[in-house]
Amino acid sequence: MPREIRALLDDAVERLERAGVPDPRIDAELLLAELLGIGRTRLFLRRTESLTAEPAERFERWLVRRESREPLQHITGRQEFHGISFDVDRRALIPRPETEGLVDALLDARPEAGACVADLGTGSGCLAVTLALRRPDLSLFALDLSPDALALARHNASRHGVEERIRFACADLADPPADWLGRMHAIVSNPPYVPEADWRALEPEVRDHDPREALVPGPDGLEAYRALAPAAARLLVPGGSLLLELGCGQAGPVSDLLAEAGYRVCRVRDDLNGIPRVLAAETGARMLSGGGAS
């Protein structure tokens, strides 16, 4: 029996609220708008229309999945990042707004045409693909230890027509391709940084659906930064830039360990919530002379 869109949404909001979904109305509207192939504004204008059985049944299936706290992005299969649509699934982290700061920091640095930029731990490929689209004159490299994540990154690169402009490698940070060494003018990375003790307190959408290895590097959450410091030093040219996403409260500890490794920490940018989120550092004189980078 056909049901009015307004009634469907009101019922969906109540159900999602009972399930503990943080923004039940927004999520209900986004799900139905995605299903109908329209924007939320048009959905509002059509609120007195009725849905026939087939779309109503599909909406019900999606709603049940969201009630179970499956991420909205996994249900729709898409997430926008820096104004670009990416396909997403359980193989990699869902791109988040905070990570857009890495793109902005790299673009603001205005690397020269032809500069080599590596995305370490590329995941969905959101950083490498976005940079390839925003700066077609850069040479992009993307590395991930997970073959599944790398396949997703390749898919997104192909979807946006930049696969031939990004060199992908399935490798560990400690063992990148030999011809990448000493070649990168900049590195961007959103490493795992959630401390072991904080993992269980994460929202179910994150804890139960994002790859755990992309979230938790070890007990204190700094393990990936410790690995990145010497690895990036081997990849960067003299004076090259290292741009890192940070977890809450990690600006001081990460700055300290990079300084100890021989980097010069240039600045830390806050995200839209005022949390120090993106750290920019450069290779320093100690490192170039062979100290602190091993």
d(CA 234, CA 241): 12
pLDDT, residue 184, reads 97
pLDDT, residue 2, reads 75
Integer-rounded Cα Rg, in Å, for the chain is 21
pLDDT, residue 285, reads 47
pLDDT, residue 145, reads 96
d(CA 204, CA 221): 19
Q: Does the 3-68 domain belong in CATH 1.10.8.10?
A: yes
24: phi then psi, degrees, rounded to nearest 5: -60, -40
What residue ranges of the chain have pLDDT lower than 50?
285-294
Q: Where in the chain is the domain with CATH 1.10.8.10?
A: 3-68
pLDDT, residue 173, reads 86
pLDDT, residue 3, reads 83
Q: State the DSSP string of 75-96.
A: HHTEEEETTEEEE--TTSPPP-
pLDDT, residue 17, reads 97
Q: Which fold has domain 81-288?
A: Rossmann fold (3.40.50)
pLDDT, residue 1, reads 63
pLDDT, residue 44, reads 87
Q: Where in the chain is the domain with CATH 3.40.50.150?
A: 81-288
Please report which helix (H) or strand (E) contains residue 171, including its range.
none
Residue 122 DSSP label: -
Angstrom CA distances, 292 to 98, 224, 264, 286, 289, stand at 30, 17, 12, 7, 9
**223: Cβ–Cβ under 8 A, 6 or more apart, which residues?**
217
Name the pTM for this structure.
0.92
